[in-house]
A and B are shown apart, each in its own frame.
Chain A
Amino acid sequence: MDNGAESYRRFRENGDETELDKIITDYSDGLMLYLTSIVGNIHIAEELTEDTFVLLGTKKPKFREKCSFRTWLYTIGRNKALNYLKKTSRHPAIPIEDTAGLVSDEEAVEEAYIRKEDMITVHRAMRRLSPEYQQVLWLTYFEGLSNKEAAAVMKKTVRSVESLLYRARRSLRTQLEKEGFEYENT
């Protein structure tokens, strides 16, 4: 699906807005869910997703193809999210009991984006984890990024991403077990 680089090049060079629409269509849901794992609120993540695409449309930053387009886009989104957190000085994680109203919206996006039932269960369990665990699991399992790409997005070393991923997996497993999820293999 990663035709984003080509679409973005055409948008940037020819001003073809339909190419930007394609990018938004292909990447908005994934980016929004990823940013939700950072800011802990899908509505704010939606605004930040929009901000990310507005930045592409206005500043038109150059994509240098040092990584995949998705990695690059998610890095921009992550920077937006971190700036947002810095400005509002909010803790990225919000207590689960406060999220009741947000969950239905997130579920709608989640279901549209993640089509497999068991993956949805996993994603919902992920919401109980710390933001860093959520991010690394999201990037590697749902977005299919390699450890190296995830490290680039999260601005960490590959080694620390591997370590984070190991701990995140263990936490996720504990969480899934609590919810009665059965593994076919471990």
Chain B
Amino acid sequence: MKTREEMIRDIHRRIREYEAERRKKRARAAVITASLTPVCGAAVLGTVLLKGGMLSPSAPPVITPDGGSQVTAELTTEGFTSGSTEIPAAETLPVTTASFSDVTAATETENVEETSAAAVQTEAVPVTTDAAEGAEAPAETAAPAEDNTGTGMTVPTEQPAGNADRLLISSYPSPGSESMTAPRPGHSGMAWHLYEAKEEYRDTADYHVKADIFTESDQVLDAGMIQAEAERLSGLGYDVKVESEPVQTGGDYYYLAFVMTYEQLEDFPASPEYGYVLRLYDY
């Protein structure tokens, strides 16, 4: 039998868990919506291009012979003429569609842009349509590991220890707020960009993560305590080390730096003494 205090504590814990789960579901729904929007946009764009005759074999080429540094696209449809638009390569959006499978293969060495009136007005976002080369889709998304123009994802030149063959995510573009409340001891919280990256790449990638740790009242800044925590996590199989950065007011700011798998992120073993804020290394 529980005492009344234990019952009250358990009830509050269960209420908090329920609310956290509900927030997670909402965030998941938002991520799905956000990821479907560009796909739908691409589908609409494809339809417009198809109807406009741009995708027919007789259509004028959309890739210039100079490797795609500049693209000239001219749309002529019955009710709509966009005219000619020139866009610098760095500002445009890599798009792969079923009809451009030959173009897709060239993305590692060439910047390939497909422009239209709609694309010019759209903010650059990573788009990979479902039809594009079937099962190769994730690889295409992950491919520009050394080419930061596409997905907005960056990978450090010197990668920390980890599986060299796997994609290592260290940053992710996200409009979400980065400020968050320090979790209570025994809990961990992810920054929005890390959550989104994790949901997108799941177990196809590893994650380069920084973590600040907190007690009930304050952030833990003591190097010894952070080192002890790193050793505990290392003992649990985490690739973790203590890193520091100088701060303007003097001294150093210490934090934990990880290379984590998706599963390790999902099942992060928070110590009952600390709360953890996890975020991508180069957020």
Contact = CB atoms under 8 A, between A and B. Distances in A.
Contacts of B7: 24, 28, 46, 49-50, 53
A108 interface: yes
Interface residue range, chain A: 10 to 19
Say what secondary structure dominates the interface of chain A: helix
A155 B4 CA distance: 29
A21 B6 CA distance: 11
B178 interface: no
B10 interface: yes
Contact of B15 (A49, A54, A105, A108): A54
A109 B1 contact: yes
B4 A25 contact: yes
Contact of A42 (B1, B14, B18, B19): B1
Contacts of B10: 50
Interface in A115-166: none
A50 B11 contact: yes
Given A46-B2, A54-B18, 19 more contacts: A17-B12, A21-B8, A24-B7, A24-B8, A24-B11, A25-B8, A28-B4, A28-B7, A42-B1, A49-B7, A50-B7, A50-B14, A54-B11, A54-B14, A57-B11, A57-B12, A57-B14, A57-B18, A105-B1
Interface of B: 1-2, 4, 7-8, 10-12, 14-15, 18-19
Interface of A: 17, 20-21, 24-25, 28, 42-43, 46, 49-50, 53-54, 57-58, 105, 108-109
